Chain A
Amino acid sequence: MTAFVYQFLAFAYQVADVFAFLVLAAGGLAIIFGMMGIINMAHGEFITCGAYVTTALVRAGLPLPVGIVMGALFAGVLGIALERTIVRRFYNRPIDSLVVTWGVSLIATQGALLVLGSAWTSVGTPLGSIGFGDYSFALYRLVMLAVAIGVLVGLYLLFMKTRFGVHARATMQNPAMARALGVPTERIYAQTFGLGAALAGLAGGVYAPTLTLSPTMGTGFVVESFVTVVVGGADVLTGTAPASAVLAIIRAACTAAWGQVFGLIGLLVTVCIVIRVLPEGFSGWLMRRRA
């Protein structure tokens, strides 16, 4: 009996772990895609950026939470800069935005390798571990879960309870009308892009202690985050969160049963099925039911 309980707890822990990973990896991408229709191929590089800034600050003596917040802020500022200089020219050309951000990501990855060098010592995972039964887990992974949930709650408050949120939702539904009503859509776009980049930076900062720091590390998040956004659809709250939960269960189950390869393949097959059944993702489906 206890063995079964431990087994169940172990599985629940795996699901929660994958859930946190998907929410954090995909949040920034989902916001940018959902609000602006832009597929940001440089998403992984914002994650990398957050991870490097966090690590550099922690090694300079700052505590890890401060480092993570600074990493997110730094990525956010870079995001706004990128939006102002380049991305804003592509709002009605989503495919060109894909090509241009891919170009930016090439420059950023290889530029980081040239400028920052290759090998950075990681800062190490804080907190320790807890054990039950045969298993033991890193406590820090629970922090990640908490941050992921915090991000979802924070976004809910931001989009539902603030002036920015009202403006942003108006801009998303009908930019022309919003502009006519005096919403500064230009600024909203810049802020949204910055927010998406900051969330990516946050993911990088949170995961930095658990990963190897390298300029290509962001690419490790990209496939999963695209999958989550596609399954979720255009809205972070009604899309990304449930999509992450469903995908986490599928991935954890496939991985536990058949190994890592089929965890990944299971994820990709799910995408094809979901798109076939729910072409606009979870959020589109929910919207339609509500309407």
Chain B
Amino acid sequence: MTLRDIPVLFNGPQTLGRGKLFWLGVAAVIVAAAIYPQYAERFAISNTAYFGVWVFMALGLGLIWGYGGMLSFGQTAFFGLAGYAYGVIAINLGAAHSYPFLALICALAIGTAFAAVLGYFMIYGGINGVFVGIVTLSVTLAFATFMNQTAGPQWRIGRARLNGYNGMTRIPSLSIDWLDGHRIRFEGATFYYLVLGLLVVTYLALRVLVNSRFGNVLVGTRENPERVELLGYDVRRYQLGAFTIGGFLASLSGALYTAWGNFIVPASMALPAAAMPIIWVAVGGREDLTATLVGSFVVLYVFQALTVVSQEYALVAIGALLVVTVLIAPGGYVIWAVDMASRLRRRAGPSPPLSDPALKARTQRG
């Protein structure tokens, strides 16, 4: 492989956006995000990091649902499991040494393993279509119901009280001790940079993944599983792979959320919470990673802004926003906006700047 082959890894038929202009834009956004903490106030930095924390779960769902065609309604089960695992382990080990970081790794392992097991039973058990959604929803609701009743003193794991509906509080923040004893505490701007770094890595890694053979087989399975099977692929392996990666990303969101807020509750796995990732991804755009990422982030921001501005009208406004978006931009508003922009430009000038075959295919299909 030479240096020239690298762009091929990141680009391909399964992602929108290619060419110098797009990648320059990506670089500009990363640079802007990196210098943002120099100019923003403490609350804004921490709040932006908080939005970023949720985007991992959205990207995971985008992979499972948008690329794999399986609607998981229970990403919050992995989110919550990893969150609780981080909380229990971090409280028991304490903040000394790099223990919270160890807790993060363990939490990710537990959440991902659970996703793999659940995915195995579903996918190899022949559950598909809307029933994947219902099974995963049942799992997350059963989990939430169970955690809700752990308020009594008998529900403790080591030093950590599970605390029922109230949830666990005072969970240590993430920290790493270097060999020389210097401790990095991931709070405020440091946490922001951690989330930003992880987001960039995740985004690029997923781009490589979906443009690889894995991604092509996965999308093929979404469109026509029988045909892909006839070509000699074991589609279930690819679906399980996607489901497990999605579970890993939801676990990452869960563990980071718990470390950020020092707090995890069963409600984070219950019905309204379980529907939220679906809404971000559906509104933002699910069949493209960039659309999912940008879309989820903006939706999170808009929902919060609406809640702050309109008080008790917020839920009405959010509901209306959902209805309108799904009505006029069925593929998600990001893809709709890109499409609109390219149409306008085509009308203005002769050269279509977004001559992307994938986009064309998509717009024709939509």
Contacts and interface: CB of A to CB of B under 8 A. Distances in A.
A and B touch in the complex (CB under 8 A): yes
Interface of A: 37, 39, 41, 86, 89-90, 93-96, 98-100, 102-111, 113-114, 219, 222-223, 226-227, 230, 261, 264-265, 268-269, 271-272, 275-276, 279
Interface of B: 65, 71, 121, 125-128, 130-131, 134-135, 137-139, 141-142, 145-146, 148-149, 271, 275, 278-279, 282-283, 312-316, 318-323, 326-327, 330
14 contacts: A95-B65, A95-B278, A96-B282, A99-B283, A103-B319, A105-B319, A107-B319, A108-B319, A226-B137, A261-B148, A271-B135, A272-B135, A272-B142, A279-B125
A70 to B, nearest CB: 26
Given A86-B323, A100-B322, A110 B127 contact: no
Given A96-B330, A230-B131, A276-B125, A111 B316 contact: yes
A114 B317 CA distance: 13
A264 B316 contact: no
A-B pairs with lowest CB-CB distance, top 7: A103-B322, A106-B319, A107-B319, A110-B315, A268-B142, A103-B323, A103-B319
A276 B139 CA distance: 13
A265 B138 contact: no
B320 A103 contact: yes
Nearest to A96: B326
B139 A86 contact: no
B271 A223 contact: yes
Contacts of A222: 271
A114 B311 CA distance: 12
Contacts of B127: 275-276, 279
Counting chain B CB atoms within 10 Å of each CB, which of A105, A106, A219, A269 scores highest?
Answer: A106
Given A86-B327, A96-B330, A271-B134, A106 B278 contact: no
Given A271-B138, A275-B127, A114 B322 contact: no
A99 B330 CA distance: 11
A269 B142 contact: yes
A98 B142 contact: no
A272 B139 contact: yes
A89 B330 CA distance: 10
Nearest to B126: A279
Nearest to A98: B278
A99 B316 CA distance: 14
Contacts of A113: 312
Contacts of B139: 268, 272
B317 to A, nearest CB: 9
B274 to A, nearest CB: 11
B366 to A, nearest CB: 10
A265 B271 contact: no
A265 B142 contact: yes
B330 A275 contact: no
A275 B131 CA distance: 8
